[in-house]
Structure 1
């Protein structure tokens, strides 16, 4: 089998065999350097730095390019759960929300105040009904790496007049996606996009019309969401921004200082190249598991591989310097741009040596 080296070795030198990006990504060297400089700066200029809005604006633009949507339709925030609560608040009180069984709680839990119906992921498209107001789902499932049938769900939702809300937290950065295909598209960027925690993006696929009048009300917006920041500091924000900036949260400055550099790295490498690299490593791992008589949970084409019966091995592997995770009784390995075939082979050797 073809051997693969890391896509950007100069940016990473982990002290572990790190195969746990599905939990959190590694911070590139350029991002860590920028964060250290920002912390030093804060000792003289405060925790908003000398340029509070610059890194956030650059991050917004970089994310927009990665997911192929105009930056005017991108809002920045802190967590997927906050964005899900915003989406829930924009829905009619007794409407039906359709979600896959076992999807990530940050996406699903805030929607639970509506009438939520859960179905198996593979049945999601066929279960959309005329009364369904919203279909909310992850592009890639956290627990097992399964990739949703994105086109089928989009078509079914469109046919029944339902809105779509896609969580790309486990996908953006390695799986090619087009955010404009969804009414709402959210991404916690601290995993595959290698940003600091506290970096989240929300996009709006539909045109907001004149001054965003066709978008939902910005219920959680603060002073940063005003069209004129100088006039939106006190009292109600009477003129929300005409762009999706009207949905911004006051952002964590350090998080976006790092995000600017991390997103630039992803853009330089290209999602297509990262996808090819990650999936080749995952396929090598699946083949090695099969040679050892082990069968991972079905997730064709995914960079995440979860294997039943091996969850107890996670602690032993951590002791050997291999970082993976245990989810739903399975050992979950995730392969990203800083991984190599040597990482895959080391994991397989340790699994074969110690079993579960």
Structure 2
């Protein structure tokens, strides 16, 4: 495991926010190396130096970088532009009448692709009772590892065990967790991750993982030459042979986003997710303690995302004071990551104490 000194070095060389930035749950800060990679691509395109506008090899390097963080082989990773687009693939795979179980208040991109079909049975239960709610006939459990609205962490082991006991598949959204909470994507049939939050990638990067078994049921909705086993000999006419790996589900990606993504993911690998977990959750614990002392108890837990019920109305005040934070479902939501320090925690508490 990398040491804290690696984290300190990366923070000093890659980030220089001019606000107290506690809003990673909405969008992560871009490292300097990522910004430079995007600038280089823009300049190359402006000067006509890049055929096709970017490098598919850069996309594949980002795929490898995410696979390393997710604990899976790169062959099990597909690239795309949004969580909703990836969830739509899973939604299209279900037969009419199938039951989809999800937490109440789950993020819209995780449940809407199922709900809009109109021929699936949607069932919502409190997050704490998700595992107990899996029953015979449940086809899929779709849920986030960390809830967007309040930072609650799901009981991942219990949900996986319940799904396995009833023959249900699992779809995990790791958008609010990948980058600070260790991820074992191979333990789920599908995972989806918007990488512009804790993975610090440009917006427009999203990763889908699919097990080899689950791949058999997933439709290839975005089929094109990028989905082919032999991409460069499949540019005209129908694709004769799809990629045998999860690359068959690749969308045509935005090169600017993925040229940056490979560098952000490499940075996270340098620091190490375990070190990031300890750092971010330690700051979150400090914030919870300070909030309690101010008479504003937060949602309990050990998440790097801290939410204070009913305090979202103070978001404009914090913003005016230079503290970037969120108002989500009435909660004041703060998220801590590698670029944050104890001084950031104390600054937010100082504003709230007024």
Do the aligned partners of 1:17 and 1:343 also contact (CA within 8 Å) in 2? Answer: yes
Residue 153 of structure 2 corresponds to residue 150 of structure 1: no
Residue among 163, 172, 178 paired with 2:178: 172
Matched, 1:237 2:243: no
Find out whether 1:262 has 2:269 as its counterpart.
Answer: no
Summarize the Cα distance change of 1:280–1:41 in structure 2 as closer, same or farther, 3 Å threshold: same
Query: In structure 2, what is the Cα distance between the partners aligned to 1:226 and 1:269?
Result: 35
Does the 8 A contact of 2:81 with 2:205 survive in 1? yes
Q: Which residue of 1 aligns with 2:343?
A: 342
Is 1:66 equivalent to 2:69 in the alignment?
A: yes
Alignment correspondent of 1:45 = 49
Q: C-alpha displacement at 1:233, in angstroms?
A: 2.0
User: How far apart, CA to CA, are the structure 1 residues paired with 2:233 and 2:84?
Assistant: 29
Residue from 36, 41, 61 that aligns with 1:33? 36
Where does 1:277-292 land on structure 2 (aligned, <5 Å)? 277-292=279-294
Q: Between Structure 1 and Structure 2, how many residues are aligned? A: 344
Q: 1:140 — aligned with what? A: 146
Distance 2:333 2:10 in 1: 22
User: What 5-or-longer segments of structure 2 have no aligned partner?
Assistant: 1-6
RMSD of Structure 2 on Structure 1 (CA): 1.5
Q: Give the conservation status (yes or no) of the 8 Å contact 2:89–2:219.
A: no
TM-score, normalised with respect to structure 1: 0.94
Greater alpha carbon shift after TM alignment, 40-49 vs 66-75? 40-49
Q: Which residue of 2 aligns with 1:93?
A: 96
1:301 aligns with 2:307: no
Shift of 1:301: 1.2
The alpha carbon displacement at 1:316 in A equals 1.1
Q: List alignment gaps of at least 5 residues for structure 1.
A: none
* C-alpha contact 2:106 2:143 (8 A) present in aligned 1: yes
Deviations 1:79-102 (A, max 9, x none): 000111110001111100000000
Q: Give, in whole Å, the separation in 2 of the partners of 1:139 and 1:124.
A: 12
* C-alpha distance in structure 1 between counterparts of 2:76 and 2:8, whole Å: 36
Query: Any idea what the Cα deviations from partners look like across 1:1-30, whole Å, max 9, x if unmatched?
Result: xxx968622100011110000000000000
Which of 163, 177, 187 is matched with 2:169 structurally? 163
Contact 1:5 1:340 survives alignment (8 Å): no
Shift of 1:284: 0.2
Map Cα deviations across residues 282-309 of structure 1 (whole Å, 9 max, x no partner): 00000001111111123x1100111123
Any conservation in 2 of the 1:308–1:329 contact (CA below 8 Å)?
A: yes
Q: TM-score, normalised to structure 2's length?
A: 0.94
CA displacement at 1:151 relative to structure 2: 0.4
CA distance in 2, matches of 1:62, 1:96: 34
